[in-house]
Homo-oligomer: A and B are copies of this chain.
Amino acid sequence: MAGNTFGNLFKITTFGESHGKAIGIVIDGCPSGLKINERFIQKELKRRRPGQSQITTQRNEDDKFEILSGVFNGKTTGTPLTMLIYNLDQHSSDYENIKLKYRPSHADYTYDIKYGIRDFRGGGRSSARETAARVLGGAIAKLFLKKYKISIEAYVSQVGNVSLDKDYTEIDLTQTEKNIVRCPDNETALKMISLIESVRNDGDTIGGTINCVIKNCPAGLGEPVFDKLQAQLARAMLSINAAKG
């Protein structure tokens, strides 16, 4: 069955495996006449990129996106907007050794049971790399929402037992990108980084919490009863790898 589509009016479909030829997204229903700022999209993509710091996964994914359809003379036309990122690193020799092993807490076992076949190279479709396609979709959505002055900003508010106990109104959100853990409060950020490094030295990982602030969101968005805004946001968030609550 088909589960790679999200949304109704602005409908996204993502595709692609971690070590296949490419990953990408089709956005169907994007309003026409929207100016496509490619630098902004590239910047959003860069923010997602692993290997930016010592504290996260170290694979360097220097992603470049390409627009295949839906844009004419720099503007959307209302037809499906398709964007691709070619995977530079397709050699899967690194992954031969996991071919016969299921990694704990990964989807390897589930995929085998469900599909009877598994693209074992880097998690295939279940790799977190799939989120790069979502970032492309999110960047287009942000460009559209900007016209209505709606902003969406997220930050790390907790790592393990280190948490930022301020309300978002007391926080300077422009500071979020200033440190590698993306907590807008520098003091708390330093504590988080130090906790992550210590856990990492033990060969472990640690979870955290992300807060998201949406400004100028109009009243009445979402559709009762099953498509309430918070319900669809919860679905989207929990469809991200490793998101748990």
The verdict on A80 contacting B124 (CB below 8 Å), with A4-B226, A33-B115, A231-B238 known, is: no
CA distance A236 to B230 in the complex (A): 10
27 A-B pairs (CB sep. < 8 Å): A1-B223, A2-B9, A2-B10, A4-B225, A14-B80, A15-B82, A16-B80, A17-B72, A17-B79, A20-B72, A22-B82, A24-B82, A32-B115, A75-B117, A77-B125, A79-B124, A110-B219, A114-B219, A115-B220, A125-B224, A130-B225, A226-B239, A227-B239, A228-B239, A230-B238, A231-B236, A234-B234
Quick check: which of A53-61, A62-70, A170-178, A184-192 contacts chain B, the rest being far away?
A62-70
Task: Give the interface centre of A115, A232, A237 by most chain B CB atoms within 10 Å.
Answer: A115
Nearest CB in chain B: distance from A125 CB, A: 4
CA distance A238 to B118 in the complex (A): 33
Query: Is the pair B82, A16 in contact by a Cβ cutoff of 8 Å?
Result: yes
**Which residue of B1, B9, B13, B76 contacts A13 across the interface (Cβ within 8 Å)?**
B13
Would you call A78 an interface residue if the criterion is a C-beta within 8 Å of the partner chain's C-beta atoms?
A: yes
Return the CB mask of A20-57 against B: 1 if under 8 Å, else 0: 11111010110011000000000000000000000000
Would you call A196 an interface residue if the criterion is a C-beta within 8 Å of the partner chain's C-beta atoms?
A: no
Nearest CB in chain B: distance from A5 CB, A: 7
* SS class, residues of chain A in contact with chain B: mixed
Query: Is the pair B15, A125 in contact by a Cβ cutoff of 8 Å?
Result: no
Query: Is the pair B28, A226 in contact by a Cβ cutoff of 8 Å?
Result: no
Bin the interface of chain A by size.
35 or more
Task: Give the interface centre of A14, A84, A116, A226 by most chain B CB atoms within 10 Å.
Answer: A226
Query: Is the pair A225, B110 in contact by a Cβ cutoff of 8 Å?
Result: no
CA distance A79 to B77 in the complex (A): 28
Would you call A222 an interface residue if the criterion is a C-beta within 8 Å of the partner chain's C-beta atoms?
A: yes
Return the CB mask of A105-147 against B: 1 if under 8 Å, else 0: 0010111011111110000111000100000000000000000
Query: Is the pair A26, B26 in contact by a Cβ cutoff of 8 Å?
Result: yes
Query: Is the pair A238, B245 in contact by a Cβ cutoff of 8 Å?
Result: no
The verdict on A79 contacting B14 (CB below 8 Å), with A29-B1, A69-B21 known, is: no
Task: Give the interface centre of A14, A21, A79 by most chain B CB atoms within 10 Å.
Answer: A79
CA distance A227 to B177 in the complex (A): 31
Would you call A200 an interface residue if the criterion is a C-beta within 8 Å of the partner chain's C-beta atoms?
A: no
CA distance A26 to B223 in the complex (A): 16
CA distance A8 to B72 in the complex (A): 28
